[in-house]
A = this chain, B = another copy of it.
Amino acid sequence: MLQPILTEWDSLCSAAKSLCRSFVPRSSLDSFFEPRSVAVVGASSTPGKPGRTVIENLIANGFKGRILPVNPRGGKICGFPVSKTIEELPSGIQMGIVMLPAAQTPAAIQECAERGISSVVLAAGGFAEVDHAGEDLQAELKEVIRKTGVRVLGPNTAGHISTPDRFTSSFFPLGKIPNGPISYIAQTGNFTGAMMRSIMSGEHYGVARCIGLGNAVDIDEADVLEFLADDPKTKSIFIYLESLHRPQTFLKIARKVTRTKPVVMLKGGATEGGAKAAMSHTASLGSDDNVLDGALKQAGVVRIDEFTYLFTAAKAAAMMPIPAGNRVGFVSPSGAFIVHISDICHQRTDLVFSKIAAATQKRLEDISPPFINISNPVDVFPSATVNGMEFAWREAMTALLKDPNVDAVVAILILADELGEMKLDFILDLKRRFPEKPIYISFSGDENSNAAAKSFLEPKGVPTFPRIEDPFKVLDILVQCRKSLA
C-alpha cells in the first residue's frame, strides 16, 4: 500500500533533480567533509560579520587546509591574503563557502565551476522560502547547478560541521566544536548555529558531522544519509526534517543504515499547521504523515515527537552503549517516583521493569532494613537511612547491573549539601565494570548539587537527565533503535 504512493511522490518531487543529474557526473560528498582547501567568497574583515566569523571558526577548529578569502577590496583577512575575484583564485580548490546576497549567488556558482570548485555551501536566505522572486532565483540557481554539476549545500543554511577533519562552514560564532560520535542532519540552517551553541554550552557530548540542509536545492537528506551510512566517525544519526525530497531513496538507504547505526528523526510539519509553517520556512511540503510514519517504522527509523529529544537521546547514544533490550533496573529514592514512572513506562514506552534474579533479590534484601519489601524498581531510601547513601545506591545499582535479566539501569540520586556529600566515583567504576549496559542518572533535590553531579559525571561518559521522566523516555527511544540493529 505504501509503495505506490511513495513511488509517485518520489518521482514527482525529484523529477527535475534526477534529470539534471543524468548529464553531469556529480562529485561525492567527501570533499564537503574533508576539503584540503576552502575559498570564502564574501569574506569580511569586520569582526562579527558572518564573512569573518566563518574564517574564525575554521581557525578555532584547527583546519589544516588552505583558507582563501575572496573580497573585491583585497588585502588580508585574519592573516590570509584576499583574492579580489573568484577568477583570481589559484586552481585546485575543493570547496567554496559563498556568503553573498541571494541575487549574486547563481553567478558565483558559475564562477566557482569555472575555477574548478565543485563543492559549494550557500549561506544566503531569500529564495523560495520568502516569495515569488525568491522562487525564480531558486529556479535560476537550480539551472546553474544542473549545467555546472557543482554540488551545493543550501541555500538558507548556516553551514555544516565536520569535526574529524577540523572543518566547518558555519558562520555562527562557535569556536572549537567538540568531537564525538553523533551526526545531525537538519533541514534548518540554524542547527549549525544557535542549536550547536546550545549543545556546546549545555551538554558534554560532541558531534562528528552536522549538516544544515536549508532549502536543499541540490544536496538533500538522502545524499547526506548515504554519506553518513559509510562514515566510520558517525555512530548514531539524528535528523530534523520538514520534508523528504526523495522519500523512496531516503528510505532505501535508511533500511540499510539502521541495521548498524541508530537513526532518530523528528519530522516537522506532521500536522496541517506545521506543514503550512514548513512551507514558509524551507519551502517544503511533507508527504502524507500517516504514510510516512509507517514507512519510517519499516525502515527502522525511530521517529520522535519533541525537539528536546534530539539532544537528550543524542547524549545517551554518545556516552553509553545502545541497550540490548527493554528490561530496566530502576533505583529510586522515593516511592512516588516508582509509582509515577511505572505509569509513564506502561502508558508510553516499551520498557519493562525486569523480574530480577534470585541472587539480585537476596542482595537487595541484605542491604535493606528487614521490614522492607524489595523488588525492582528498588526503593533505595530505607537502605540509605541504614547504610548511608553511597553504599545504598552503589550496592543496589551493582546488584541490578550484575543481573542477566537487566539491560539498563536508571538511578535517581537525591543530592543536597544538607544531606552530606555523596561521592559519585562508584558510578564511573560501574560504567567500567559493565560496559555493555547503559547507566543513566537523574536527580531529586538541590539544583546546585545536581549541576555539580552533571559536571562531574558527563565529561567522564555518564549521561545525566535532570528531569526524572527523561532517562526513561530516552531509553525507550534507543530501545526502539535496537530493534533494527543487526
Which A residues have a C-beta under 8 Å from some C-beta of B? Answer: 48, 126, 129-131, 133-134, 172-173, 186-188, 190-191, 194-195, 197-198, 201-202, 240, 242, 266, 268-274, 276-278, 280-282, 305-308, 333-340, 342-347, 353, 371-373, 377, 379, 414, 416, 418-420, 444-448, 467-469
Q: Tell me whether A336 and B268 are in contact (CB under 8 A).
A: yes
Q: Tell me whether B173 and A418 are in contact (CB under 8 A).
A: yes
A335-B277, A336-B281 known; A343 vs B269 contact (CB < 8 Å): yes
Please report the C-alpha to C-alpha distance between residue A62 and residue B429 in the assembled complex, in whole angstroms. 45
Q: Tell me whether B346 and A278 are in contact (CB under 8 A).
A: no
Write the chain B residue with the least CB distance to A343: B274
Q: Tell me whether A336 and B242 are in contact (CB under 8 A).
A: yes
* Copies of this protein, total: 2
A194-B414, A416-B194 known; A307 vs B468 contact (CB < 8 Å): yes
Write the chain B residue with the least CB distance to A385: B125
Write the chain B residue with the least CB distance to A373: B280
**24 A-B residue pairings within 8 Å (CB atoms):** A48-B420, A130-B372, A131-B371, A190-B444, A194-B334, A194-B414, A197-B418, A198-B445, A201-B445, A202-B447, A268-B343, A271-B347, A273-B343, A273-B345, A273-B353, A277-B335, A277-B338, A277-B377, A278-B339, A280-B373, A281-B339, A306-B469, A307-B337, A307-B340
Write the chain B residue with the least CB distance to A190: B334
Please indicate which of the listed interface residues A336, A373, A416, A469 has the most CB atoms of chain B within 10 Å of its own CB. A336
Q: Tell me whether A336 and B371 are in contact (CB under 8 A).
A: no
Known: A173-B419, A198-B446, A277-B342. 12 other contacts (CB 8 A): A130-B372, A131-B371, A134-B371, A191-B336, A197-B445, A268-B343, A274-B340, A274-B342, A280-B335, A307-B467, A308-B467, A308-B468
A278-B339, A335-B129 known; A344 vs B306 contact (CB < 8 Å): yes
Q: Tell me whether B198 and A335 are in contact (CB under 8 A).
A: no
Write the chain B residue with the least CB distance to A242: B339
Name A371's contact: one of B130, B173, B268, B414 (CB within 8 Å): B130
Please report the C-alpha to C-alpha distance between residue A186 and residue B308 in the assembled complex, in whole angstroms. 28
Q: How far is the CB of A342 from chain B (nearest CB, A)?
A: 4
Q: Tell me whether A342 and B447 are in contact (CB under 8 A).
A: no
Please report the C-alpha to C-alpha distance between residue A190 and residue B418 in the assembled complex, in whole angstroms. 15
Please report the C-alpha to C-alpha distance between residue A194 and residue B420 in the assembled complex, in whole angstroms. 13
A130-B371, A130-B372 known; A444 vs B195 contact (CB < 8 Å): yes
Q: How far is the CB of A304 from chain B (nearest CB, A)?
A: 11
Residues on B with beta carbons closer than 8 Å to the beta carbon of A197: 416, 418, 445-446
Residues on B with beta carbons closer than 8 Å to the beta carbon of A414: 194
Q: Tell me whether A188 and B467 are in contact (CB under 8 A).
A: no
Q: Tell me whether B130 and A444 are in contact (CB under 8 A).
A: no
Q: Tell me whether B281 and A335 are in contact (CB under 8 A).
A: yes
Residues on B with beta carbons closer than 8 Å to the beta carbon of A276: 342
Residues on B with beta carbons closer than 8 Å to the beta carbon of A377: 277
